[in-house]
Amino acid sequence: MRAGRGGDPAATVPEAEFRSYYGQPVLKPPVWHEPHMPVYLYLGGLSGASSVVAAVARFSGHDRLALAARMTAFAGAGLGSGFLIAELGRPERFLNMLRVFKVTSPMSVGSWTLAVHGGLTAAGAASAVTGLLPLAGDAAVMASALTGPVMATYTGVLLADTAVPAWHAARREMPFLFAGSALASAGAAGMLTTPRAEAAPARVAAALGAVMETTAAAIIERRLGLEGEPYLRGRAGLLMKASRALTLGGGLLATVAGRSRTLTAMSGLAITAGALCTRFGMLAAGKASALDPKYTVVPQRDRAAGRRLAVVPDQEGGSDTP
Amino acid sequence: MAERMGFFTDSSVCIGCKACEVACKEWNGVPDDGFVFRATSYDNTGQLGADTWRHVAFIEQDDRWLMSSDVCKHCTHAACLDVCPTGALFRTEFDTVVVQADICNGCGYCVPACPYGVIDRRERDGRAWKCTMCYDRQLGGLEPACAKACPTDSIQFGPLDELRARAEARLERLHADGVAEARLYGDSPGDGVGGTGAFFLLLDEPEIYGLPPDPVVTTRDLPEMWWWAGGAAVTLVGAVAACFLGSRR
């Protein structure tokens, strides 16, 4: 039975019929480890969005928030680079990432972006800490507002540009999911590191980011049908549910967090935990999606069947097989 | 560039002897892939991986046994090569796809990119490995070890154009003999990976052998993905700017 798949995940959908080689996966699951990869994805997004916050805050005279965001952007990029290098099978060869530049490789684009972004945020932070070259420091922060949005979104392309069905099928929403989560994370970090009286824009960022992330995740779960199933099941399903509860709860709290230190802490920590759950959930869903041959075979069979239906009426002899 | 070289694996004459697996391991110095008793069929190798560059699938059906030796497809549009950030994966003068072990830093990105689940990271070594179509032997004018060792010529090596013509003739012959289920897999330049350098004659649907029925190179959609990311990046900047509206100091 192939009808009725997709749509409401709660509906009792008949299991898709398919054949396989003893139920073994067709694909290799992503080899990336926990916590390295998901934590890097979080820190990279945090750093990217924070650098934009730092630049706009500096422009608009929110100096205390600008300083906090500037330091967060540097810390995120620095720590994130550490996690990324530790994830490599041969960490001592991390500089090989900068041997070539390839737009066909989101990993290459990301490595170069991280290298430039890391340098800029380090310069900005160094200037702020030492008080030296303030103009150069500000210029670095402004420049990092250009690399930051790439940092916060390329990770969506990184995951989607694979054969993993749950990731590739979510290629439209994925960059928005990561951008929203990064914005929420940066807002949360801003709330936690800036006096409440000066953190109003950070609270708005936290709430806005939470809405964006939750919306993107909801669209993924609804639009994808069978390929989106791994986001709803098993460990990935639990993580994605936890992420939604924490992110939405934290985002709601952010709107009233200006009232007390406790509310601020609760909101900021909930959003941060939610952003981490999202990253761990995405990796878990990707692995589950690659390991079950159903998600590879059934959509490909459907695609091939659809193409045959579309082709046959136009061809006299029906010679659709090569 | 020299002529494009390839493999034609004719599963209709495969006897499941696994000489290809052994020859590949011996020539290429590929480590053991574990001594696992899988309890499914006469196949304890399981699948292609970092330590398995030829894998003989063994399928027991009611009235017949199917055997086929799987290998890296050496795609025309190779996702592993496209996404490799170091340039470790490259296309040789024989139009095959090879990993340079002295460049690979083990980022692992090629692994989920492959639509056939071929390339994998060897965890105790940290790098990605797969079939090279015996690049070293080809440079010396020799055929790859698996093809050399195959006792029934199920694995044929040669210029891809020649192999395709030979495969067409073989398919016609099988159809004429009443083997209606025989089909070629990976021979069409019009498929999702632009055709494969290693293609197959199968006697059942590809997924029975653990092969994807309609693989597509993931990077085909990459331009679209970059546009969506661009939209998300612009949205992010706009959203941050909006956060500061109404709180100008």
Clarify whether residues B146 and B236 are in a common domain: no
Tell me: do B103 and B208 sit in the same domain: yes
What percentage of chain B carries pLDDT values higher than 90? 92
Confidence of residue B1 (pLDDT cuts 50, 70, 90): low
Residue B171, domain CATH: 3.30.70.20
Residue B22: what pLDDT? Answer: 97
CA atoms within 13 A on the CB side of A308: 12
What is the reported pLDDT for A314? Answer: 46
| Cβ distance of B112 and A321 shorter than 8 Å | no
With 60 as the cut, is the pLDDT of residue B180 above it? yes
pLDDT attached to residue A2: 35
Classify the phi-psi angles of A64: left when phi > 0, otherwise alpha if psi is within -120 to 50, otherwise beta.
Answer: alpha
Q: In this predicted model, what pLDDT tens digit does every residue of A194-213 receive, in sequence order?
A: 999 999 999 999 999 999 99
Residue B158, beta-bridge partner list: B6
- The whole-angstrom distance between B11's CA and the closest CA on chain A is 15
Beta-carbon separation of B190 and A175 below 8 A: no
The ipTM is 0.95
> The tokens of B101 are what?
């072990």
pLDDT at B66 over 80: yes
Q: Are residues B243 and B173 in the same domain?
A: no
Decide if B84 touches A, using CB distance below 8 A.
yes
Q: What is the mean pLDDT of residues A101-113?
A: 98
Nearest to A108 among B85, B103, B221 (CB): B85
Beta bridge partners of B122: B127
The verdict on whether residue B110 carries a ligand-binding annotation is yes
One domain for residues B189 and B159: yes
Question: CA A298 to CA A52: how far, in whole Å?
Answer: 42
Whether residues B118 and B184 share a domain: the answer is: yes
Stretch 126-185 of chain B: residues touching chain A, C-beta under 8 Å: 126-128, 183-184
Contact check, Cβ <8 Å, B105/A96: yes
Do the annotations mark residue B243 as ligand-binding? no
Burial class for A131, CB neighbours closer than 10 Å (0-12, 13-18, 19+):
exposed
- What does the block give as tokens for A305? 């069947």
Q: Does A112 touch chain B (CB under 8 A)?
A: no
A205 part of contact set with chain B, CB < 8 Å: yes
Residue B56: beta bridge partners?
Answer: B69
Share of chain A above pLDDT 90, in %: 89
Q: Where are the alpha helices (DSSP H) in A224-292?
A: 234-254, 261-291
Q: Which of A125-129, A315-319, B65-69, B236-240 has the lowest mean pLDDT?
A: A315-319
Is pLDDT at A168 greater than 50 in this prediction? Answer: yes
Q: Which residues of B touch A104 (CB under 8 A)?
A: 82-83, 219, 222
CB spacing of A172 vs B228 below 8 angstroms: yes
3 state SS of A107:
helix
Taking the domains of chain A in order of start, what are their residue ranges? Answer: 36-298
User: What is the predicted pLDDT for the residue at A1?
Assistant: 32
Quick check: B249 pLDDT over 70? no
Closest-CA residue to A205 (of B245, B233, B231, B234): B245
Whether B112 and A56 lie within 8 Å, measured CB to CB: no
Mean pLDDT along residues A207-231: 96
Domain identity same for B191 and B89: yes
At B226, is the pLDDT very low, low, confident or very high (cuts 50, 70, 90)?
Answer: very high
Is residue A201 reached through a cis peptide bond, with omega within 30 degrees of 0 on the bond before it? Answer: no
Q: Is B80 annotated as a binding residue?
A: yes
**Amino acid at site A46:** L
Tokens standing for A106?
């989101």
* Mean pLDDT over the full length of chain A: 92
Q: What percent of chain A has pLDDT over 70?
A: 91
Q: Evaluate whether A141 touches A55 at the Cβ level (below 8 Å).
A: yes
> What digits encode the pLDDT tens for the residues A264-286?
999 999 999 999 999 999 999 99
pLDDT (tens digit per residue) in A256-269: 999 999 999 999 99
* Per-residue pLDDT, A4: 38
- Reported as a pLDDT band with limits 50, 70 and 90, residue B200 is very high
| pLDDT over 90 at B77, yes or no | yes
**Given this model, what pLDDT does residue B40 score?**
85
pLDDT tier for residue A319 given thresholds of 50, 70 and 90: very low
Say yes or no for a CB contact (<8 Å) between A175 and B248: no
Say if residue A10's pLDDT is above 70: no
Q: Binning pLDDT at 50, 70 and 90, where does residue B189 land?
A: very high
pLDDT at B248: 56
Quick check: A307 pLDDT over 80? no
> Can you give the residue range of the structural domain that contains B128?
5-216
My answer on whether B92 and B68 are in the same domain is yes
> What pLDDT, on the 0 to 100 scale, is given for residue A306?
85
**B190 in contact with A, Cβ within 8 Å:** yes
Q: Chain B residue with minimal CA distance to A286?
A: B112
Per-residue pLDDT, B41: 86
- For chain A, the straight-line distance linking the first and the last C-alpha, in angstroms and rounded, comes to 28
B185 and B223 part of one domain:
no
Query: Strand B198-202 to strand B183-185: parallel, antiparallel, or no bridges (unpaired)?
Result: antiparallel
How confident is residue B39, by pLDDT bands cut at 50, 70 and 90?
A: confident
B149 and B249 fall within a common domain: no
pLDDT at A17: 84
What topology is assigned to A36-298 in CATH?
A: Formate dehydrogenase/DMSO reductase fold (1.20.1630)
Residues B224 and B125 in one domain: no
The dihedral through the CA atoms of B137, B142, B143, B145 has a sign that is negative
Cβ contacts of A20 within 8 Å, gap of 6 or more: A26, A293, A294, A297, B207, B208, B210
Q: Classify the phi-psi angles of B95: left when phi > 0, otherwise alpha if psi is within -120 to 50, otherwise beta.
A: left
Number of domain units in chain B = 2
